[in-house]
């Protein structure tokens, strides 16, 4: 599996994501924000950090980065796209997943370990997660308070667009509507989540639950290449 | 809207600490001032409106107004 | 050039700039003439306490600095120590006290930015930040404003640059009311072959300034802010606040490390205090060269800046690279790719001078036709040969064994209403200690810090020392920073030595060997003999402790004039240590594994309650004395711990410090969620056994089967080992039995009336809520307690 | 007025990504809108000025302006 991690100016979890991808046997490489070439990525990750300093609004400036044209095309073709933390904010600003991330209800940056309930096991990001498993990973953000107008939330739930929810005992750390921690786009191939699976990828760091997410992607890429062989990119 | 403006709400709750009671309805937003090279006000406004819709404000959570200052334009969001 | 009239105010210019008449004479001797105004401004910032160390240099020269693995010691931007596998670690502590007192958010933020630059300038990638913060009474609005601003500043900057903040200190003491301390430590890892120095070698080479443009920030910040005691004048100093841009810093880190890794620079220097003046004079002086600065080439944020403003501006996020003409295009390409403006602003010369030219340089680097020279100063005169003052030290007339309520700084206003007086229920005292703002959970602060970015954090800031793994190896870095301000107030020698003892123990309990020591000396006005005596004693204590423990001091920082109209700070020798775990899998944490482990104490208590937090809350007693520090015994303990960890004998280890043994044990219980059933032999003053802060003790837990092995090891090391009991249950029970006393009940009256038996829920409530309660934050909620399986 | 405005700078550098070249001098600040109960404009202004200095703006690094809207007051910082 080929994993391309976009590097925006101000990204600061790009190296962590590149490393975590190697732990599930993927070949990972950075994609510079000015490049239009995703180099045949099976999975594109928009990593955490403070792209463009998060100035104006988190994700607002990154959305216009030259690379985003190629990312959009990749997603439109059904390529897998994962936005983590700041990457989720960029996806939301770019309209690639529904919703907006407001300031945390505490009005503070929140760094802590949370637990996630997995709402669906039939997505490319969750298929390897055993039923009933809760995922433990850290959050670290100032704007992770998921927002959608009520009616749109109902629609999102109806279309099963919510994939991760904060759950007990730690609960909802940021005021997110309906405890939402991660969502999917309509196609189900783009996922945005605030917690950091790449920081929960080794036991020594406190949890390796994040690997389940990456393994899911490996499985689903393997399954889809079995079904429909595609041209191999150099 | 309180959900969309937690900062405004926080400011409001802190006002009694400052002994201020006559103030309410606090809304905290952003103000962007910029210089636009344009032949006239209308042309400048077109450019700024575009920037405001696409960049300065996120329509899901923010509204904006454009104001022309003397030979300049400023947009505010709340 | 004109200095704004407002700052001159009929006072001669040099004095307005903080240069004494004697210093002006010394400048005239160095130059063989009178300085012009620009030169005087440059001297004023370079000869400030902050840049020249003019009061402390003779003292610092006494510190032990050598060690076989030390690659770079004091005099460089950061100390660097080898850790094997071709790797080295760079680390340093630095203060940003005065800027944080004026503008807490930006002061703390730029403090983080500044120390990070010291690390990556050496070629190291920053991997951790620790912040040591000291404030006045937490119930005061001013304190709360400062705490919020400083914590937000550290968080806003550190989180954005993507370096985890994994440790630090938070202390409240009335002596810091008018002058908070913000000391920040940064740690980085580098391949030794990439070690880069801040030098300007090779006449003809180019000086490239990259990063943010130069504005009016911090004009005179170093000399005026850091050297003048605060007073009414602080309002007029306001325009000199520096504003940080962590986004620019993040780009600066990546660009600088790329320049270094690709071998594109001959030397690299960050810009901090005294801005361009400091960067060019230090790099030139270290290389015995000179630099000719093309003033007009310096990119500015504002068009109407005076030459002196450009030369001493402390605009943040700037770097100076010395590059060859051949590499220049590559250097400029790297900067452009990282969106960092860059400009050639001068040439290295062989004349040993810093010259400032307006009107441009020609292709050969000489002043262009019609150009004018605005300043011409020997580089050494600004730096290595800057003035040194032999200050007068005088111990206070009456050396107090303990503060007498009347002449001690105002006691904190009611830290915990309804607190038991001395001699009351030990459970209530323990509860009060766990809720004390200096001892309770730091989650209110640390939750605002990203402690896991980088995906190398093995242990963040809530428990003891921080542990960062070195990716690609089996190694771990253990880091901690400590001071002993309450002890320092009573005996500045002991305060500094205690800080070293506590910090070394914090590192050693994990099983790590200390690599070296950095420090930040925070003291008062050195022109006051008592304050200078405190500094002298502090440096002596620091040096004595490090020599006895065989530890090199690899760097540090001095911050003087920490006084306000109302108070002088407690003498604060802040110590920072990085230790190495060869095998991170063998590290020992402070959290017991569960019920059924043996609990024991390594080391023997030295009695004395003076300088403890117990005295802070229970009030001083007539016989309170300071505990003593036996550095030989301490060294033995420091050797034993890694050996025990190596053999896998310890399940958990926690050093005894603030709040004493009872607090150390209570914390272990709280963190594991499992209580303990213990018996403690006590002497005539049980409070000292339970709550005394005598050094060189470690509470450990172990599997009962390992007792004999540990006892053998401890005996061989000459370290006393005492079994206390075992873990289990959901409360902490400590039975007190008299030692060498016939009847317990007769003797116990002196301090403590009863055994201690308190449920963990009660202790946890005190510990969890201590800080938000002290700071009046009703909205804050602790995380629900969840045990990890 | 010379105080570093990293936000404004970052916005300005990314304008070319939007194909905008006619805009420069971008300054990003805050805008606080509030309702004040006061007998007259002058009284309202006194309250708002006080809040602006003590709460909304840090005079060390921010400047502010108070503007009276119809029956309301708003302050902007840049
Ligand atoms: N207390 C101290 N102990 C040891 N070295 C010190 C101490 N204070 C300063 N130094 C050393 O003196 C040098 C100059 O310090 P400083 O001016 O703070 O450096 P920089 O300008 O790079 O921040 C540094 O190498 C620093 O490590
Ligand atoms: Mg430096």
Judge whether C747 and C684 are in contact, CB under 8 Å: yes
How far apart CA C408 and CA C423 sit, in angstroms, is 23
D49-56 mean pLDDT: 86
pLDDT score at C618: 86
Which of A91, A109, A147 has the most B C-beta neighbours within 10 Å, making it the best mutation to test the interface with B?
A147
Determine the 3-state secondary structure of A130 from DSSP.
coil
Query: How confident is the model at residue D68, as a pLDDT?
Result: 86
Question: Do the Cβ atoms of A177 and A146 come closer than 8 Å?
Answer: yes
pLDDT of residue C567: 84
Q: The complex's ipTM? A: 0.90
- Region C263-287: what's the mean pLDDT? 95
Q: How far is D6 from chain B (nearest CA, A)?
A: 13
Are the beta carbons of A233 and A48 closer than 8 angstroms?
no
Instruction: Please confirm, yes or no, whether C389 is among the known catalytic residues.
Output: no
Whether pLDDT at C339 is above 60:
yes
- pLDDT computed for residue C75 by the predictor: 87
pLDDT at C684: 79
For residue A229, give both structure tokens. 């062989």
Interface test with A, best of C147, C452, C475 (most A CBs within 10 A): C452
Among candidates C187, C72, C167, which has minimal Cα distance to C126? C187
Instruction: Place C224 in a pLDDT band, splitting at 50, 70 and 90.
Output: very low
Instruction: List the single residue in D with minimal CA-CA distance to C341.
Output: D13
State whether the Cα torsion C29-C31-C37-C39 is positive or negative. Answer: negative
Residue of the CA atom closest to atom 7 of ligand 1: C556
Residue A205 CB neighbour total at 10 angstroms: 20
Range of weakest confidence among A38-47, B21-30, C415-424, C622-631: C415-424
Cα-Cα-Cα-Cα dihedral sign, residues D65, D68, D69, D72: positive
Ligand minimally distant from the alpha carbon of residue C92: 1
Question: Is residue C465 within 8 Å of residue C654, measured between CB atoms?
Answer: no
User: Which structural domain range is residue A194 located in?
Assistant: 2-233
Subunit contact D76:B78, Cβ cutoff 8 A: no
Rounded-to-integer distance, Cα C505 and Cα C634, Å = 9
> Is the pLDDT score of C223 beyond 50?
no
Test site for ligand 1: of C49, C70, C73, C74, most ligand atoms within 8 A of the Cβ: C74
pLDDT tens digit string along C233-250?
Answer: 443 443 567 889 999 999
Long-range CB pairs of B44-51 (<8 Å, 24+ gap) are B44/B68, B44/B73, B45/B73, B47/B73, B47/D20, B47/D22, B47/D23, B48/B73, B48/B75, B48/D23, B50/D20, B51/B75, B51/D15, B51/D18, B51/D20, B51/D23
Q: What local confidence, expressed as pLDDT, does residue D5 receive?
A: 86
Does the beta-carbon distance from C315 to D4 stay under 8 Å? Answer: yes
Residue in C65, C186, C556, C572 to alter for ligand 1 test, most ligand atoms within 8 A of Cβ:
C556
Please give the pLDDT value at position D56: 84
For C448, which of A108, A138, A168 is closest by C-beta distance? A108
So what's the pLDDT on residue B14? 84
Beta bridge partners of C125: C189
Q: How many CA atoms lie within 13 A of A43 on its CB side?
A: 31
| Minimum-distance CB partner of C241 among D10, D13, D61 | D61
CA of C554 to the centre of ligand 1 (A): 9
Domain of residue A116, CATH code: 3.40.50.880
Angle between helices C141-161 and C246-261 (to 10 degrees): 40
Q: Which residues contact A203 (CB under 8 A, 6 or more apart)?
A: none
**CB–CB of C654/C664 below 8 Å?**
yes
CB within 8 Å of A166: residues ≥ 6 apart: A114, A115, A116, A117, A172, A173, A176, A179, A180, A181
Determine the Cα–Cα distance for residues A182 and A114; give it in Å rounded to an integer.
Answer: 13
Residue C498: name the closest of C557, C394, C403, C570 by CA.
C570
Q: Give how far Cα A137 sits from Cα of A167, A199, A211, C157, C167, Å.
A: 12, 7, 11, 23, 20
Please give the structure tokens belonging to residue C518: 């950095």
d(CA C182, CA C195): 28
- Residues 6 or more apart whose CB falls under 8 angstroms from that of A102 comprise A143, A145, A146, A147, A175, B3, B4, B6, B61
Please tell me which residue of chain A has the smallest CA distance to B53: A60
Cβ contacts below 8 Å, chain A against chain C, sum to 96
The DSSP secondary structure of A104-115, one letter per residue, reads PTTSS-EEEEEE
CA distance C733 to C730: 9
How many Å from the N-terminal Cα to the C-terminal Cα in chain C? 69
Any atom of ligand 1 within 6 Å of the Cβ of C361: no
The phi, psi pair for C536, rounded to 5°, reads -60, -45
pLDDT of residue B2: 63
Range with the poorest average pLDDT among A200-209, B54-63, C57-66, C186-195 = B54-63
Got the DSSP string for C377-423? Answer: EEHHHHTTT-----------SS--SS--TTTSSPPPS-SSTTPPPTT
Whole-number pLDDT of residue B8: 87
Give residue-wise pLDDT tens across range C90-139.
Answer: 999 999 999 999 899 999 999 999 999 999 999 999 999 999 999 999 99
Q: For the segment A130-157, what is each residue's pLDDT rounded down to a tens digit?
A: 999 999 999 999 999 999 999 999 999 9
Higher pLDDT, A143 or D39: A143
Question: Facing residues of A162 across strands?
Answer: A183
Share the mean pLDDT of chain C: 90
Strand partners, A100: A147
Q: Residues C144-186: pLDDT tens digits?
A: 999 999 999 999 999 999 999 999 999 999 999 999 999 999 9
- pLDDT value of position A66: 94
Residues C698-717: what's their mean pLDDT? 98
Question: Is the beta carbon of C554 within 6 A of some atom in ligand 1?
Answer: no
Half-sphere exposure of C555 (CA within 13 A, CB side): 26
Question: Taking Cα atoms as reference points, which of C453, C539, C576 lies closest to residue C183?
Answer: C576
The minimum CA-CA distance between D7 and chain A, rounded to whole Å, is: 5
As a whole number of angstroms, the distance between CA A67 and CA A43 comes to 15
Give A161→chain D minimum CA distance, Å.
30
Instruction: Calculate mean pLDDT across residues D62-75.
Output: 73
Is residue A191 annotated as part of the catalytic site, yes or no? Answer: no
DSSP E strands, C560-626: 572-581, 598-602
Ligand nearest to the CA of C517: 1
Question: Which two three-digit tokens encode residue C75?
Answer: 């005099």
Count up the domains in chain A and report the number: 1
Q: Assess A101–B contact: CB distance below 8 Å, yes or no.
A: no
- Using a CB-CB cut-off of 8 Å, the residues of chain A touching B61 are 100, 102, 147
Per-residue pLDDT reduced to its tens digit, C538-591: 999 999 999 999 999 999 999 999 998 888 999 999 999 999 999 999 999 999
Which residue has the CA at smallest separation from atom 6 of ligand 1? Answer: C556
- Name the residue among D2, D6, D60 with its Cβ closest to that of C103: D60
Instruction: Tell me which ligand sits closest to the C-alpha of residue C319.
Output: 2
Task: Spell out the per-residue pLDDT of chain A, length 234, in tens.
Answer: 999 999 999 999 999 999 999 999 999 999 999 999 999 999 999 999 999 999 999 999 999 999 999 999 999 999 999 999 999 999 999 999 999 999 999 999 999 999 999 999 999 999 999 999 999 999 999 999 999 999 999 999 999 999 999 998 889 999 999 999 999 999 999 999 999 999 999 999 999 999 999 999 999 999 987 665 544 444
Helix (H, G, I), strand (E, B) or coil at B68: strand
Give the pLDDT of residue C463.
81
Q: At what angle do helices C246-261 and C104-120 cross, to 10 degrees?
A: 0
Q: Find the DSSP H helices in D1-78.
A: 6-14, 41-51
Q: Whose CA is nearest to atom 22 of ligand 1?
A: C77
């Amino acid at each position: 599996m080929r994993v391309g991690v976009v590097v925006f100016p101000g990204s600061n979890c790009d190296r962590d994501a590149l490393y975590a991808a190697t732990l599930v046997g993927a070949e990972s490489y950075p994609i510079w924000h000015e490049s239009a070439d995703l180099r045949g990525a099976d999975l594109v990750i928009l990593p955490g950090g403070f792209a463009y300093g998060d100035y104006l609004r988190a994700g607002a400036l990154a959305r216009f980065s030259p690379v985003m044209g190629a990312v959009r095309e990749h997603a439109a073709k059904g390529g897998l796209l994962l936005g983590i933390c700041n990457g989720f904010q960029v996806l939301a600003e770019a309209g690639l997943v529904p919703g907006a991330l407001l300031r945390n209800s505490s009005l503070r940056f929140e760094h802590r370990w949370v637990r996630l309930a997995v709402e669906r096991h039939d997505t490319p990001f969750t298929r390897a997660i055993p039923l009933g498993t809760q995922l433990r990973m850290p959050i670290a953000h100032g704007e992770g308070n998921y927002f959608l107008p009520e009616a749109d939330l109902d629609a999102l739930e109806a279309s099963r667009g919510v994939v991760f929810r904060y759950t007990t005992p730690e609960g909802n750390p940021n005021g997110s509507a309906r405890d939402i921690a991660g969502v999917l786009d309509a196609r189900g191939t783009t996922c945005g989540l605030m917690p950091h699976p790449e920081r929960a990828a080794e036991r020594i760091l406190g949890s390796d639950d994040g690997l389940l997410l990456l393994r899911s992607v490996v499985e689903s890429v393997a399954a889809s290449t079995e079904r429909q062989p595609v041209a191999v990119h150099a | 809207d309180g959900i969309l403006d937690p900062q405004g709400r926080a400011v409001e709750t802190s006002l009694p600490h400052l002994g201020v009671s006559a103030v309410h309805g606090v809304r905290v937003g952003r103000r962007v001032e910029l210089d636009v090279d344009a032949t006239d006000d209308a042309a400048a406004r077109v450019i700024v409106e575009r920037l405001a819709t696409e960049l300065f404000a996120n329509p899901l959570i923010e509204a904006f107004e454009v104001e022309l200052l003397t030979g300049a334009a400023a947009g505010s969001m709340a | 050039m004109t200095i704004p009239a407002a700052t001159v105010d009929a006072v001669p210019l040099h004095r307005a700039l903080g240069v004494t008449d004697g210093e002006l004479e010394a400048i005239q001797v160095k130059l063989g003439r009178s300085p012009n105004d620009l030169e005087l401004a440059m001297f004023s910032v370079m000869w400030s306490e902050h840049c020249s160390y003019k009061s402390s240099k003779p003292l610092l020269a006494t510190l032990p600095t050598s060690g076989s693995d030390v690659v770079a010691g004091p005099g460089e931007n950061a100390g660097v120590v080898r850790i094997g596998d071709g790797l080295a670690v760079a680390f340093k502590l630095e203060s940003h006290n005065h800027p944080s007192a004026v503008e807490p958010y930006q002061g703390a933020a730029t403090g983080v930015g500044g120390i990070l630059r010291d690390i990556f300038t050496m070629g190291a990638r920053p991997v951790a930040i620790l912040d040591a913060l000291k404030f006045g009474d937490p119930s005061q609005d001013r304190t709360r404003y400062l705490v919020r601003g400083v914590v937000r500043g550290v968080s806003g900057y550190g989180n954005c640059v993507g370096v985890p903040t994994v440790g630090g200190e938070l202390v409240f003491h009335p002596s810091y009311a008018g002058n908070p301390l913000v000391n920040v430590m940064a740690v980085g890892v580098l391949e030794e072959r990439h070690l880069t120095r801040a030098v300007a070698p090779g006449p003809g080479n180019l000086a490239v300034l990259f990063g943010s443009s130069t504005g009016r920030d911090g004009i005179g910040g170093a000399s005026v802010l850091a050297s003048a005691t605060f007073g009414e004048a602080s309002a007029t100093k306001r325009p000199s606040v520096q504003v940080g841009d962590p986004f620019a810093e993040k780009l600066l880190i990546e660009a600088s490390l790329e320049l270094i890794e690709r071998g594109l620079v001959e030397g690299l220097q960050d810009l901090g205090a005294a801005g361009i003046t400091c960067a060019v004079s230090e790099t030139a002086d270290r290389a015995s060269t000179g630099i000719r600065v093309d003033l007009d080439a310096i990119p500015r944020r504002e068009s109407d800046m005076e030459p002196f403003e450009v030369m001493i501006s402390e605009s943040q996020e700037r770097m100076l690279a010395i590059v060859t003409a051949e590499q220049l295009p590559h250097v400029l390409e790297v900067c452009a790719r990282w969106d960092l403006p860059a400009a050639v602003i001068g040439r290295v010369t062989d004349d040993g001078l810093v010259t400032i030219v307006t009107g441009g340089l020609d292709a050969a680097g000489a002043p262009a036709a019609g150009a004018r020279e605005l300043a011409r100063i020997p580089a050494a005169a600004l730096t290595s040969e800057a003035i040194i003052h032999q200050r007068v030290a005088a111990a206070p007339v009456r050396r107090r064994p303990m503060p007498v309520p009347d002449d001690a700084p105002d006691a904190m206003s009611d830290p915990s209403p309804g607190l038991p007086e001395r001699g009351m229920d030990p459970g209530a005292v323990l509860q009060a200690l766990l809720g004390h703002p200096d001892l309770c959970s730091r989650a209110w602060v640390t939750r605002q810090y990203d402690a896991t970015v980088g995906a190398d954090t093995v242990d963040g800031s809530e428990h003891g020392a921080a542990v960062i793994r070195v990716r690609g190896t089996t190694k771990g870095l253990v880091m901690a920073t400590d001071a002993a301000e309450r002890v320092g107030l009573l005996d500045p020698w002991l305060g500094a030595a205690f800080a070293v003892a506590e910090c070394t123990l914090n590192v050693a309990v994990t099983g790590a060997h200390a690599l070296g020591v950095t420090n930040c000396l925070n003291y008062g006005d050195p022109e006051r003999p008592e304050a200078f005596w405190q500094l002298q004693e502090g440096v002596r204590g620091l040096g004595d402790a490090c020599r006895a423990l065989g530890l090199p001091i690899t760097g540090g920082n001095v911050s003087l004039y920490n006084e306000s109209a109302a108070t002088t700070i407690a003498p604060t020798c802040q110590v920072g240590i990085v230790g190495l775990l060869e095998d991170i899998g063998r590290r020992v944490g402070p959290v017991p594994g569960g019920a059924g482990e043996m609990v024991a104490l390594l080391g023997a208590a030295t009695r004395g309650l003076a300088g403890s937090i117990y005295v802070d809350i229970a009030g001083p007693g007539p016989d309170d004395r300071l505990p003593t520090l036996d550095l030989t015994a301490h060294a033995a303990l420091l050797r034993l711990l890694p050996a025990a960890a190596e053999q896998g004998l310890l399940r958990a280890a926690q050093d005894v410090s603030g709040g004493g043994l009872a607090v150390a044990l209570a914390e272990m219980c709280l963190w594991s969620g499992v209580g303990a059933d213990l018996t403690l032999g006590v002497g005539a003053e049980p409070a000292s056994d339970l709550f005394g802060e005598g050094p060189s003790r470690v509470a450990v837990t172990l599997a009962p089967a390992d007792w004999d092995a540990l006892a053998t090891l401890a005996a061989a090391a000459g370290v006393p080992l005492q079994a206390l009991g075992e873990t289990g249950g959901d409360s902490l029970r400590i039975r007190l039995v008299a030692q060498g006393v016939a009847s317990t009940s007769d003797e116990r009256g002196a301090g403590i009336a009863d055994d201690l038996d308190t449920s963990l829920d009660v202790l946890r409530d005190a510990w969890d809520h201590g800080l938000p309660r002290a700071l009046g934050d009703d909205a804050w909620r602790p995380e629900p307690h969840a045990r990890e399986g």
